[in-house]
Chain A
Amino acid sequence: MPNNVILLVEDNPDDEALTLRALQKNNIRNDVVVAHDGVEALDYLFGTGSHAGRDVHLVPQVVLLDLKLPKVDGLEVLRRLRADARTKLLPVVILTSSNEEQDRLRGYDLGANSYVRKPVDFNQFIEAVRQLGLYWLILNERPPMIRRA
């Protein structure tokens, strides 16, 4: 397994623990950076705030982005990522509770690469994370301009 960073943007500690458990269950051993709100996620990606001085040329392999977040919500994070040349092509998977049409539409409109709804059934959730890992960490070829973190 390549040791490429996964940025998990998730404010709910239960969901964080369950996602990490699901990754572990699927033997996905990538480093996982967890941002607990939109501001933290942007700070990490742009080397500001609590992540000041970080080499921003090292970008994550994939971002797992929740939508309902404190301070700056997921869609706003996505909008700012797509507006910046450094993160414009960064693969972003929206991983959220809702399948509300407006969220899906807005998510894809802002340039999300995938939209996955977290199933309530934990076994189904493990399966979803397995497929995500398989696809985004192994199968998918990243855009050439993005350097690995």
Chain B
Amino acid sequence: MSVQTSDPSLHQTLLESRRLAFAHSQESRPERTALEITQRAVLNILEDFAAEKSDLELGQCATLNIFEDFDAEKSRMAGAQRAALNILEDFAVEKTLLQAAQRSALNILDDFSAEKAHLQETQRAVVNILDDFDQEKVKVQRANAQLEKEITDRQHAEEETQRANKELLAANKELEAFSYSVSHDLRAPLRSIDGFSQALLEDHADKLDPSGKNQLQRVRLATQRMSVLIDDLLNLSRVTRTPMRRERLDLSALARSIAEEVQKADLTRHVEFVIADGLVAEGDWRLLRVVMENLLGNAWKYTSAHERARIEFGASQHNGRRAFFVRDDGAGFDPRYAGRLFGAFQRLHGANEFPGSGVGLATVQRIIHRHGGEIWAEAAVEKGATFYFTLG
């Protein structure tokens, strides 16, 4: 800050004092000296004073400057204070808002903690489910592996089946050709043997004695038996060769029609047929007709030695399955030989006792097996036989 001697009156006084002191010095020396000393003293004083004053002025100026600066500071301070107050006010609003926000945040947190509890519960449940799921997954994986193995096994089995089927088809075709050949070629020589035996008996009877004629008759009978055997054998093979067609069949009606046929063939016998009504089954009509013809035909045949006989067709339960049966009260058989009943060409009676080729029951068994069923028999010697069969 600069000090200025700006007071004009003080300056004027100084200048006047100097002028007067000079003038006086011009008049008297002795007196003048005393005066001059005083004057100088006064002047010195005045000068000192002036210097003081100027210092003072400088100080004052500085002070004034300081004050001015202070004012500016103060005004700035006031501004700052106002700003600070404004800020504080704003802050108070903020604080209220903040508190509200905090409250809502707290509420939210409260809610959240409830949610959290729920969530934890849910989480636990989910974890449990996941645990279960894991266990299930392991089980499923195990089952899957098992399944895959089964599929592979099945594929193998299927391939095996297809291969076997092919072989079977080939074998069947061969059998077909064989049967065809048997049917045509095996019978022709038999016809020759029988025909020329007959011709011999007719044309050259005079050259044959009774024994020769009897021998030729035996030749003829043998050829005819063989012819029956061939036919039975062909029927047996046909049973497995012909395609099956399943349909609903009235076995009672079938039994009745066969019973009528056999009765018509021999009206001299006294046989009572007892046929249960409404026995219906699913099967191939032609094949099941062969079954019924054989079973009822056998019953008719093996009761022929009895004066009166009773033949029954019915159904009963065996191990939860319905079994049809044909029962007679004829010759029966020894149950010890029951195992041989269904073998081809197996007979439990001599041909002179009851005629037959031993193919009938083998044929019947094949048909029953083709239907997915079973056949078995119960019997006792001279106490009749009962043949049971199921159909799939």
Contact = CB atoms under 8 A, between A and B. Distances in A.
Chain A partners chain B:
yes
Interface stretch (A39-47, A93-101, A140-148): A93-101
Given A12-B188, A123-B198, A97 B223 contact: no
A14 B180 contact: no
Interface in A17-39: 18, 21
A120 B183 contact: no
Nearest to A102: B180
A67 B194 CA distance: 21
Contacts, number: 63
Interface in A98-116: 98-102
Contacts of B194: 120-122
Nearest to B238: A101
Interface string A54-77: 000000000000011000000000
Contacts of A98: 180, 183-184, 187
Given A14-B192, A18-B195, A121 B183 contact: no
Given A120-B190, A120-B224, A97 B195 contact: no
A120 B191 contact: yes
A21 B199 contact: yes
Residue of A100, A101, A123, A125 ringed by the most chain B CB atoms within 10 A: A100
A14 B198 CA distance: 13
Residue of A15, A68, A97, A120 ringed by the most chain B CB atoms within 10 A: A120
B217 interface: no
Q: How large is the interface on B (under 10, 10 to 19, 20 to 34, 35 or more residues)?
A: 20 to 34
Contacts of B190: 120
Given A14-B188, A68-B184, A98-B184, A121 B227 contact: yes
B146 to A, nearest CB: 48
A90 to B, nearest CB: 24
A83 B224 CA distance: 39
B183 A122 contact: no
B22 interface: no
Contacts of B180: 98, 100, 102
B196 interface: yes
A98 B194 CA distance: 17
Contacts of B184: 67-68, 96-98, 100
Residue of A68, A98, A102 ringed by the most chain B CB atoms within 10 A: A98
Contact of A21 (B195, B227, B238, B242): B195
Nearest to B226: A120
Contacts of A15: 188, 191-192
B183 A125 contact: no
Given A21-B195, A122-B195, 11 more contacts: A14-B189, A14-B196, A15-B188, A18-B191, A18-B199, A97-B183, A98-B187, A100-B180, A101-B238, A122-B191, A123-B198
Interface of A: 12, 14-15, 18, 21, 67-68, 96-102, 118-123, 125
- 3 smallest beta-carbon distances between A and B, as pairs: A120-B227, A98-B183, A14-B192
